Amino acid sequence: MAGIYLHIPFCKQKCHYCNFYSIASLSSKDDFLKALISEIQLQKKYLSGETTGTIYFGGGTPSLLSQDELQSIIDKLHETYDIEDEVEITLEANPDDLHSGKIKELKNTGINRLSIGIQSFFPEDLHYLNRVHSDQQAMDCIKRSQDAGFTNISIDLIYGIPGLNDEKWLQNLATFRSFNLPHLSAYGLTVEPKTPLEVMIRKNRMQDVDDNQIAGQFRILMEFAENNGMEHYEISNFCQPGQYSQHNTNYWFGKKYLGLGPSAHSFDTQSRQWNVAGVRKYCDSLYSGIVPFETETLSDEQKFNEYVMLSIRTMWGIQLDYIQKNFGSMQVDQFKKATLKLIREGYLKKENKSILLSKEGKLFADRITSDLFIS
Ligand code: SF4
């Protein structure tokens, strides 16, 4: 079962920390939609022989699209690809877009999962991040979505924001709990190069993030999830038992996916390709019937590292049998050797034939992952 990702590259304003490709202008929206419909058709072969179980509208801010615009995209996908009846269709939405009329419209399109970018319920955090919505809108949109009949709702929260002390972080988590939602994605604030946040911190115009605060609040998050019966199924993702994001879980399991739209990535298990990250270039190329992408065939080494990087972050961990089957006995032996010290130090644990991050290991996931890479 494959997945389809659609990158909708428009936002009302740029958040200070964001390094996703998007533009804060809707002037090229109509051109983009025309090009996207054309790309849906042109990429048909990429998923030939596959059924599609998940569709994901990400961005950018897909909730800026109208019901008609979303419907025409979904209809075109159904017309072109073999979509399963029980398809999970997720839309990333920002709270300021989710007024009652809009939520009903979304429901009409067949979208059955909302991923809402809340980030924090405190106005000062939203201000620090340069989010466009208010704390009140953050509260209201969740209730409204539930009232409109959406049950599969995830929210995003960010911890490690300067000014978000542990008490406030716990309050954000308690507010999440009060809505009884099935899914939470929570990220430590990262200062990405060349973002407005990085520039302003460098110029001492904004307070820097503190790694100790991030680590402490990640511990609080893990304890919160445990105390509330949630599955910590990927480093940044938590859910009520079994309520995984099917789309993202497929990424972590190395399944095939097609990415459509500027900057979107696709993966067919042997190679990956990525579209140009520019709306104008994207449109111009598609108007001449060419999908503007670059591609890279993965070497065995890259495939191995990719498998380690994706699976170690999940609660299912790295499967020794998978390494045996796909990379051979020598690789299993080498990998086992590489894990010995990390198991002794308590960062990894072995359960049956799986290698998993321990709670402590989850705090150092990136460093541990690179220790297990082959080069
Ligand atoms: S709304 Fe999302 S994609 Fe747009 S700037 Fe903010 S974080 Fe980035």
| pLDDT above 90: percentage of residues in the chain | 100
Cα(26)–Cα(23) distance, integer angstroms: 8
Per-residue pLDDT reduced to its tens digit, 261-272: 999 999 999 999
Which tokens hold the place of 333? 């032996």
What's the confidence (pLDDT) of residue 216?
A: 98
Q: Does residue 152 line the site of ligand 1, with CB under 6 A?
A: no
Nearest atom within ligand 1 for CA of residue 17: 7
What's the confidence (pLDDT) of residue 56?
A: 98
Q: Does residue 15 line the site of ligand 1, with CB under 6 A?
A: yes
Question: How many Cα atoms sit within 13 Å of 211 on the Cβ side?
Answer: 2
Per-residue pLDDT reduced to its tens digit, 126-160: 999 999 999 999 999 999 999 999 999 999 999 99
Phi/psi of residue 359, each to 5°? -60, -45
Neighbouring-strand partners of residue 157 = 119, 186
For domain 298-375, give the fold. Arc Repressor Mutant, subunit A (1.10.10)
Cα(254)–Cα(319) distance, integer angstroms: 13
Name which residue sits closest to atom 2 of ligand 1, judged by CA: 60
| pLDDT above 70: percentage of residues in the chain | 100
Q: Does residue 94 line the site of ligand 1, with CB under 6 A?
A: yes
Q: Does residue 62 line the site of ligand 1, with CB under 6 A?
A: no
Per-residue pLDDT reduced to its tens digit, 165-217: 999 999 999 999 999 999 999 999 999 999 999 999 999 999 999 999 999 99
Mean pLDDT of the region 12-23: 97
Q: Does residue 52 line the site of ligand 1, with CB under 6 A?
A: no
Q: Give me ligand 1 centre to Cα 94, in Å.
A: 9
- Looking at the predicted structure, is the pLDDT value of residue 297 above 90? yes
The class (CATH top level) of 2-251 is alpha beta
Name which residue sits closest to atom 7 of ligand 1, judged by CA: 18
Domain ranges for the chain, please list them.
Answer: 2-251, 298-375
Cα separations in angstroms, 209 against 14, 190, 330: 19, 8, 42
Cα(250)–Cα(237) distance, integer angstroms: 14
Q: Give me ligand 1 centre to Cα 15, in Å.
A: 5
Phi/psi of residue 73, each to 5°? -65, -45
- Where residue 228 falls among pLDDT bands split at 50, 70, 90? very high
Q: Give me ligand 1 centre to Cα 12, in Å.
A: 9
Q: Give me ligand 1 centre to Cα 24, in Å.
A: 9
Q: Give me ligand 1 centre to Cα 59, in Å.
A: 7
Cα(236)–Cα(68) distance, integer angstroms: 33
* pTM metric for this prediction: 0.97
- Where residue 375 falls among pLDDT bands split at 50, 70, 90? confident
Mean pLDDT of the region 314-323: 98
Mean pLDDT of the region 237-260: 98
Q: Does residue 3 line the site of ligand 1, with CB under 6 A?
A: no
Q: Does residue 217 line the site of ligand 1, with CB under 6 A?
A: no
Per-residue pLDDT reduced to its tens digit, 90-132: 999 999 999 999 999 999 999 999 999 999 999 999 999 999 9
